[in-house]
Structure 1
Amino acid sequence: MVSRFLVTGGLLAASIVLAACGAGSGGGYGAVTSATPTSSPYATTPTPAATTPTPAPTPQAAGTTIKAASSRLGEILVDANGRTVYLFVADSGTASTCNSAGCVQNWPPVLTKGAPQAGAGASASLLGTTRRADGTTEVTYAGHPLYYFIADRQPGQVTGQGIDAFGGPWYVVSPSGMQVR
């Protein structure tokens, strides 16, 4: 009977110690936090980790718009947001040759999910599309695949003008479809 009393007393003391350790600390693994649990410790659903989306060139909404805008180089082509578009002299016809990861990172293609639209000052008859090596659809103008330059941060910037990279020079496009020099 004495040993039964010691075991019961020992369990009671251990329970009190565990309860005291958990009080005010928010509990912990195995801590006693209340006499009547409100939920099973096995029924918890893990909270998914927050993720940050990785920017990548993605097609704009169906029918990407290309229009004319004034710049320090004169009238040039831009997208609906005023972002300058370029042509790559090394492209062969409507086929894009800017397909390497480095090229696409610096010169993202102007993509579309539908027929491109001519905005003010652009000619609908000069707009077209070409299928890229990765299966996406790139906008063309006067037969030239169109690109953005990664360093252009504001509408109408032309910081990529005349850069020679990835096998040839890059130029802003005029509303007539010619490279601006």
Structure 2
Amino acid sequence: MRKLLYAGMIMIGLLASGCGSAEEPNAAKPAAADEHLTEPSETPYESGSATPEPGTPASPTSSVMATPTGPAKVDVAQTSLGTILVGTEGRTLYLFTEDKKDKSTCSAACAAAWPPALTLGTPQAGTGVNASMLGTLKREDGATQITYNKHPLYYYAKDQKAGDTAGQDVKDFSGEWYAVTPEGKKAKH
């Protein structure tokens, strides 16, 4: 009888600790309530935010954030900015004015908003890309980032598809961001 009473008290305690009403501000949400956070949304990053918002375009499942499975290819494309460098899925590649030659200064929240262009092995030059300007650097996390004319290259989370250039002339993370020309310079408006 004592064992049954003890087991009953444990069950009541467990049930009471796991229950909460919707009015309780600190009540735990079931895991299923957060499933929508992995779905893409139209809510972009606030520029320079320390914490990415749920469902941002450059989530870890985005092709620009995916771990490379081979050498990345850098191509050129005609955009509203003229001829510029593009990477995965024809997405615009950018340089960051705060970077030092062959050294990335963009990590953590910066790298979430401006994903580094990564490669596995030597990047490949498409037509119009100067192969001698292509290079790589090792990031703090061990990943290999593509460089062009010694500038580390990045994508922009707000760019959704090929041809988007929303990152052009953006002031973010204490520096400026520009699309890159085949000559290895900042693209002009």
Preserved CA contact (<8 Å) 1:65 1:80: yes
For the pair 1:175 / 2:182, whether they are aligned, the reply is yes
Q: Secondary structure at the match of 2:119?
A: coil
State how many pairs are aligned: 131
After the TM superposition, which segments of 4 or more aligned residues of structure 1 sit over 6 Å from their partners? 51-54
Preserved CA contact (<8 Å) 2:99 2:105: yes
Preserved CA contact (<8 Å) 1:151 1:159: yes
Structure 2 residue aligned with 1:103 = 110
Structure 2 residue aligned with 1:75 = 83
Q: Which of these two proteins has the greater Rg computed from alpha carbons?
A: 1
**How far is the alpha carbon of 1:96 from its aligned partner?**
0.1
Structure 2 residue aligned with 1:129 = 136
In 2, Cα distance between equivalents of 1:59 and 1:140: 17
In 1, Cα distance between equivalents of 2:101 and 2:87: 21
Structure 2 residue aligned with 1:36 = none
Structure 2 residue aligned with 1:90 = 98
Unaligned runs of 5+ in 1: 1-50
**How far is the alpha carbon of 1:58 from its aligned partner?**
2.8
**How far is the alpha carbon of 1:95 from its aligned partner?**
0.4
Report 1:1-181 matches (<5 A).
55-56=59-60, 57-99=65-107, 101-181=108-188
Once the two structures are superposed, residues 65-90 of structure 1 have per-residue CA deviations (whole angstroms, 9 ceiling, x without a partner) of: 00110000100000142100000010
Once the two structures are superposed, residues 153-180 of structure 1 have per-residue CA deviations (whole angstroms, 9 ceiling, x without a partner) of: 0101100000011110000000010011
Preserved CA contact (<8 Å) 2:139 2:145: yes
Preserved CA contact (<8 Å) 2:167 2:178: yes
Q: Secondary structure at the match of 2:112?
A: helix
In 1, Cα distance between equivalents of 2:70 and 2:121: 4
In 2, Cα distance between equivalents of 1:80 and 1:120: 15
CA RMSD of aligned residues (A): 1.9
In 2, Cα distance between equivalents of 1:80 and 1:109: 11
In 2, Cα distance between equivalents of 1:80 and 1:108: 12
**How far is the alpha carbon of 1:61 from its aligned partner?**
2.7
TM-score by length of 2: 0.65
Q: Secondary structure at the match of 1:104?
A: helix
